[in-house]
Structure 1
Amino acid sequence: MRKVDRRFLWLIGMMYIIKNIDYSNAASVKVLQLGKPSNILVQLNMTADQYNWVQSIYFISYIVFEVPSNLLLKKVSPRNWQFRIIFSWGAVLACHAAVKNRQGLYAARFFLGLMEAGMFPGIAAQLCSWYRSDEMGKPIMWMFGFQNCSGIVGSLLAYGISYMDGMRGMSAWQWVYLLEGVATMVFSIVVFFVLPDYPKSPRSNSWLTPREQEYLEARLSENAPRTEDAAFSKSEIIASLRNPRTYSFMLSQLLLNLGGYGLSWQLPTVTTSLGFAGLPRNQLLNIPPSAASVLAIIFAGWFLDRAYMTRPAFIMWICAGALAFFIVLAATTEKYAVYVACVLGTMFYSVYFIPFWAWRSSSLTGTTGTAFTLAFQSCVGQVGGAVGPQMFKSRYAYNGYKLPFGICAGAIGFGWLANVWTWWLTRNIEYDVMRIRRLRIKAEKNGRLFAEDDVKVFEEREFYGKGLVKKSDIETAV
């Protein structure tokens, strides 16, 4: 497993940080050279409301092409498909530097979403073939930890590149897109040579022994996708569409994204308007929210690994914290309170997905079912990313966007309720995951590998019936 960690963790972390920098840089370039002739809004003759469509159009194409992209993952192989995704989106990103009007920028954003579709659910589906559900917190922590480092790296890049304004006749925003696009294309070559496929794929022979390959699949729970699974199974797609868990997880993700994406899109504009720093140092105000998120994500990964409580129980606390700080954003314009709420609201939203995606992996089944379910859920869940920016119209700026932030707070609150529903639907599996994880931890402390029992997914154990079972019954089951 240390071999697997070394092969995956840094690589998927870098994949996700680059992905996040490349799609979120549109929010940063909006405030580069603000009020000057070289600002992107001035050069492309756009209003702030028109510019909000830059993010929405990206998510619209991302949503449309997410499922088809992920269904090709097994057929083409994860390594080849992720290389194609990253290289093509880097090329499209670099082309952003050549646009001359808002229509050109809209077209570039549509193709960026198209090319990037399938990247995250593809990685998540592939990881299910290498890590058990109770271990998924670790790779998800690395992905989202690096993702939130993108706020730090992206802000520093925007700050540094802002001094290139006018160089060779190009504005700073054009240099941001060009340099980051070229860097992404170069990185795709690393992905092509380093990213594995599946435990028993031919490419794994170079770094895993046959016995290690057998062990990696033998240790997985009964529902995990495996190397020898068919590239496509219609029955697994139908089963996913009939499963209420598909829609409960989807609703939870959509509602949390509606609030979270709204804040992340508007964050550079809000922090700039607070007046704490002038241009170009305003970009540095976006670093504390990202830094707080990274620290919280590391803690969440450690906490999940110890199995102190079920993952949905942990999520309840995270959603409560996010809701509290979104209410602050909707209730006050006091600049210090707003900035603190931006930092902590971003932190709670970011950490939510560590237990969420680990939780989601526990009830996925089969290679096609896993790929389809993750892509279908993710594409509908990303509707929040398309709608979120549209709430922040310029007419709401006069009082610090209280109304949009109020809507975001409402979405977070309903997301909390959706997670309660999802928790009920997965209550037995999630308790079983926690139970087995604790037994595995206890065995490791005694220097041995626990293999006497495992999580039951196809025929769930009944830890909870119509009401909670007696404590003595649970102890007996443990």
Structure 2
Amino acid sequence: MSSPNSDTEKPTASTIENGTRASLRSVPSKTDVEHIPGVSRETENKLLRKLDLRLIPMLALLYLLAFLDRGNIGNAKIEGMLDDLHMTGHQYSLALTVFFFTYVAFELPSNLLLKKLRPSRLLPLLMLAWGTVMTLMGIVQNYHGLLACRLFLGVAEAGLYPGIAYYITLWYPRDRAQYRQALFFSAASVAGAFSGLLAYGIAKMDGVAGYAGWRWIFILEGLLTVAVALVAPFAIHDFPETAKFLSEDERELIITMLRNQTTSEGFVTSEVIQEESKFRAKYVIDALTDWQIYLGLFMYWGITCPLYGISFFLPSIIKDLGYTSSTAQLLTVPIYITAAIVAIGAAWLSDRRQQRSPFILFFMSLIAIGFIIVIASSGRGVPGVVYAGVFIAVVGIYPAFPGNVTWIAVNLAGDYKRAAGMAVHIGLGNMAGAMASNFYRSQDAPKYILGHSLELGFCVVGIIAVVILRLSYQRINRKRAHIDVSQYDAYQMAQMGDRSPMFRYML
């Protein structure tokens, strides 16, 4: 049985003008629509593949550049940035940390603005802002200049990831969402590989125009982001209702697929749909007081603490195993490429099985195993084993992350509640970056036992949170199965959103 939504999909123009009922078919499956009656599964898949080709490449490119620009400071560090700016290891950690203060603070307002300002306007504007900041980071002359740039970088990048994650839920049914989340999020792991390759090549420009190699890493990657930002408005499509690349029949089909996952009442009136599409402060309050978001935070931290720790310090960790800077840059590449491939394959299987938590648990277990190997082998003269442990941990991190975000997103009903809830989940979750920025201290090199142990601890707590979250969802689903829903009409249940007795949490 599927669920009603509290403020979800917008009606077509004809539905609004005529004030007619938007005809929705009953939903046959337990949690999500299998397919639209009268429409073949192949037709649905063909339409979704068309969406993939039009939407995902640009989203992936945006996120690749964001993660590249956020994490390339780790590459710049081992190319001499600390010496040139006369920075200590503690100051470097603080420069990483301050990014997350502004990044977290601006995620919620940015996500709520997404529908008002339209994705094709807001996302390129954010890109232009952080690309400019990144370019300027290449000409800073001291620690305080770098600190200021990192603060502004957090402001500019704040709305991108939660915005894209939410944007995908406006186009894809919830049982098809994780594969698409993984497709664009895999750009983060590709960015890790790409960053190492770029840093290896750009560092050879040391001395060009009087600039050190690490400065060129910031300048060239920042200018690349600015260039893509100028093209992005023409490649981003706002909503299914306004997408020019869809035919009228395709547009109606994708809107029906989205609505069919939100109600099992057989219909909703145009008045209900219009009311749902309006912004209401209560939707934000509902998100801020939703228990599942705060329990999900521990799951998020269990994944993102290792994610940020690795993205910021992996080149340093590998270099401290005894490799040169150039070799360390190149050795990050196979790790990230493998993680991207596994993430996409796992997400496809998760969507196919319509299960989230089993896959999250499996890959979080890999993270824990990886760090256990690293801790056990550090300082024992076996750098290959340490590298293997890091490899396993990263292969667990990148598939687990989109599963974690998608699981919370699909269990929040309503556009504005989902937008606010995802911003809170991702925003507070990214405080993990501020914490992880201080886990790997320079005085702990080359073993970094404290950093690895803290990452392992957060991962174990995250695993416990996943188990509790699944058990809680199961208990609520069983309880709702025995509620008499005849006392509610479609409008009332739509207003209750994911608290409706008709709503079933995806497990």
How high is the TM-score relative to the length of structure 2? Answer: 0.80
SS at match of 2:78: coil
Query: Structure 1: how far apart are the matches of 2:297 and 2:96?
Result: 21
State the match for 1:372 in structure 2.
420
1:218 has 2:256 as partner: yes
**Correspondence 1:329-368 to 2 at 5 A:** 329-333=374-378, 334-368=382-416
Query: Structure 1: how far apart are the matches of 2:370 and 2:238?
Result: 41
Compared with structure 1, are the counterparts of its residues 154 and 255 closer, same or farther at alpha carbon in structure 2 (3 Å cutoff)? same
1:22 has 2:54 as partner: no
State the match for 1:409 in structure 2.
456
1:7 has 2:48 as partner: no
SS at match of 2:141: coil
Q: Would you say the 8 A contact 1:264–1:346 is kept in 2?
A: no
CA shift, 1:358, in A, is 2.5
CA shift, 1:31, in A, is 0.6
- After superposition, what is the alpha-carbon deviation per residue over 1:392-424, rounded to whole angstroms, capped at 9, x for unaligned? 1222225x0112211111110000001112212
Q: Would you say the 8 A contact 1:87–1:188 is kept in 2?
A: yes
Query: Structure 2: how far apart are the matches of 1:3 and 1:12?
Result: 15
Q: Would you say the 8 A contact 2:68–2:192 is kept in 1?
A: yes
Query: Structure 2: how far apart are the matches of 1:262 and 1:341?
Result: 14
State the match for 1:288 in structure 2.
334
Q: Would you say the 8 A contact 2:477–2:505 is kept in 1?
A: no
- After superposition, what is the alpha-carbon deviation per residue over 1:320-357, rounded to whole angstroms, capped at 9, x for unaligned? 11111112222221312110011111110111023222
1:109 has 2:157 as partner: no
Query: Structure 2: how far apart are the matches of 1:292 and 1:354?
Result: 16
Q: Report the AA paired with residue 243 of structure 1.
A: D
State the match for 1:188 in structure 2.
229
Q: Report the AA paired with residue 358 of structure 1.
A: T
1:323 has 2:368 as partner: yes
Q: Report the AA paired with residue 256 of structure 1.
A: I
Q: Would you say the 8 A contact 2:111–2:163 is kept in 1?
A: yes
Structure 2 residues without counterparts, runs of 5 or longer = 1-46, 264-271, 479-496
Query: Structure 2: how far apart are the matches of 1:63 and 1:101?
Result: 25
CA shift, 1:312, in A, is 0.4
Compared with structure 1, are the counterparts of its residues 406 and 219 closer, same or farther at alpha carbon in structure 2 (3 Å cutoff)? same
1:278 has 2:320 as partner: no
State the match for 1:313 in structure 2.
358
- After superposition, what is the alpha-carbon deviation per residue over 1:168-227, rounded to whole angstroms, capped at 9, x for unaligned? 1011111111111111011012221111111113xx2x212233222211111217x989
CA shift, 1:278, in A, is 2.1
**Correspondence 1:85-124 to 2 at 5 A:** 85-124=126-165
Q: Would you say the 8 A contact 1:66–1:117 is kept in 2?
A: yes
CA shift, 1:3, in A, is 2.4
Query: Structure 2: how far apart are the matches of 1:279 and 1:376?
Result: 38
**Correspondence 1:128-277 to 2 at 5 A:** 128-201=169-242, 204=243, 206-220=244-258, 221-222=261-262, 229-230=276-277, 232-275=279-322, 277=323
Query: Structure 2: how far apart are the matches of 1:278 and 1:226?
Result: 60
State the match for 1:444 in structure 2.
none
- After superposition, what is the alpha-carbon deviation per residue over 1:111-161, rounded to whole angstroms, capped at 9, x for unaligned? 001011110111111111110111012211211222211111111110000
Q: Would you say the 8 A contact 1:199–1:227 is kept in 2?
A: no
Query: Structure 2: how far apart are the matches of 1:139 and 1:289?
Result: 22
CA shift, 1:162, in A, is 0.8
Query: Structure 2: how far apart are the matches of 1:160 and 1:366?
Result: 46
SS at match of 1:391: coil
User: What is the total number of aligned residue pairs between the two structures?
Assistant: 429
Query: Structure 2: how far apart are the matches of 1:430 and 1:4?
Result: 32
State the match for 1:451 in structure 2.
none
CA shift, 1:251, in A, is 2.2
Query: Structure 2: how far apart are the matches of 1:92 and 1:456?
Result: 40
Q: Would you say the 8 A contact 2:179–2:344 is kept in 1?
A: no
SS at match of 1:269: helix
Structure 1 residues without counterparts, runs of 5 or longer = 33-38, 432-454, 465-478
RMSD between aligned residues: 2.4
Q: Would you say the 8 A contact 1:300–1:354 is kept in 2?
A: no
